[in-house]
Structure 1
Amino acid sequence: MSDPTFSVRPLDEDTWPAFAQLVEANNGVWGGCWCMGFHVRLKGRTAAQNRAEKQERVREGRTHASLVLDGDQCLGWCQFGSPAELPEVKSRRLYEKGLTKLPEWRITCFFTGKGLRRRGVADAALGGALTEIAREGGGLVEGYPEETDDRAVSGSFLHTGPMAAFENHGFTRTRPISPHRWVVTRTVSPT
């Protein structure tokens, strides 16, 4: 359950400073990714390159995320976008093996700042992403959450989201793509 004082807003030029502040306070997110790992292959790229390209994509409207805010402070986010916008999927071989149709939308990445976890940020961010997807026309949405199976899992392994959050938002398990990661789907109606 998320905190009722949270607000959820899209990542855009107005919210970029709050997003950037959280990323910078957390070592660029996973050592400098800046939430670019599903946009491009990260090998050989620097944190500075990722930051600059993420900001350029925000300016141009080529990246989507729902940010969870407590006042002006960004607590975390959920990234989403089309397969063309987010072509880099994990476990690609198994993903493509079972693929019958590309979704209209992918939900690829979650992040909650250090010391801010266990407050419902991922749940609020996912709800915000689904609201934005509906506003953008809806369609088939895919996610790739980690199933914890009552095992302790490091937050770094949950970057694609916890299964419980997706199931709480009406997603259905479609097929496994690794021992603990699934493709989950849901159709979102346009608003």
Structure 2
Amino acid sequence: MPLTVRPVDAALFDDVQTVLGDRGQAARCQCQGYRLGWHDQHSPDVAGRRELLRDQVAEGHGLLAHLDGEPVGWCSLSPRPHSTHLRKTTWAGRHEDRDDAGVWSVTCFVTRAGYRRRGVSTALAAGTVDLARSHGARLVEAYPIQPAPGAEVTWGELHVGALTAFLAAGFEIVHRPSLRRVVVRHDC
């Protein structure tokens, strides 16, 4: 069975939790870091963040990848105004409406251990355009890391995705707020 990517709904919340796991940063954060900010993302209230993610999944704000029927990858995306902390990390030098709900933000990827380097993130990145379009977005924006040639990047740093995955999905670079962070976009 091939790798499949589909939009989430309330019935897939347990599969999302399988991907996030029960330990590590993904399990603690519950993809709420760019929604809540650093302090709240690291508070002891994991159950509260899990309930926020449950609401996000029920709204259809994300994609889930399965390989041979097994949940293997998750991608969080939603209207840009939902990710208020994101504006603090990617906004230097930008002059546009931060609250434009017609722009959807891709903020998080998680691929389960044992399934990495199989194209899961690339497939999820490609699926973001159709999902955002189905919700009425006109643009999808993402904030991947572009590591220096030969530089090691830990898994945790790649929670925003790798630039190569987005370029393969047809995204274009529109801004470079730092040496490693890139803002990419795709029309819907």
What is the TM-score of this pair, normalised by structure 2?
Answer: 0.85
| Helix, strand or coil at the partner of 2:10 | coil
| Helix, strand or coil at the partner of 1:19 | helix
Distance 1:28 1:99, change over 3 A: farther
Q: Percent identity?
A: 26
Could you tell me how far apart the structure 1 residues matched to 2:93 and 2:44 are?
Answer: 29
C-alpha contact 2:8 2:57 (8 A) present in aligned 1: yes
2:13 is aligned with 1:16? yes
Once the two structures are TM-superposed, the CA of residue 135 in structure 1 deviates from its matched residue by 1.9
C-alpha contact 2:19 2:74 (8 A) present in aligned 1: no
Could you tell me how far apart the structure 2 residues matched to 1:149 and 1:93 are?
Answer: 19
- Aligned-pair Cα RMSD in Å: 2.1
What is residue 75 of structure 2 aligned with on the other side?
Answer: 78
What is residue 96 of structure 2 aligned with on the other side?
Answer: 100
C-alpha contact 2:28 2:42 (8 A) present in aligned 1: no
Task: Specify which structure has the higher proportion of helix.
Answer: 2
2:158 is aligned with 1:162? no
Give CA deviations for 1:134-189 in whole Å, capped at 9, x if unaligned.
2222412211010023222111111111000111112121121222001112211x
Of 86, 91, 115, which residue of structure 2 is paired with 1:89? 86
Once the two structures are TM-superposed, the CA of residue 86 in structure 1 deviates from its matched residue by 2.3
Distance 1:53 1:136, change over 3 A: closer
What is residue 182 of structure 2 aligned with on the other side?
Answer: 182
Distance 1:37 1:94, change over 3 A: closer
| Structure 1: unaligned runs, 5 residues or longer | none
C-alpha contact 1:108 1:143 (8 A) present in aligned 2: yes
Count residues in correspondence. 181
| Structure 2: unaligned runs, 5 residues or longer | none
What is residue 117 of structure 2 aligned with on the other side?
Answer: 118
Distance 1:187 1:180, change over 3 A: same
Once the two structures are TM-superposed, the CA of residue 94 in structure 1 deviates from its matched residue by 5.4
C-alpha contact 1:66 1:126 (8 A) present in aligned 2: no
Once the two structures are TM-superposed, the CA of residue 56 in structure 1 deviates from its matched residue by 3.3
What is residue 32 of structure 1 aligned with on the other side?
Answer: 28
| Helix, strand or coil at the partner of 1:84 | helix
Distance 1:113 1:29, change over 3 A: farther
Distance 1:101 1:52, change over 3 A: closer
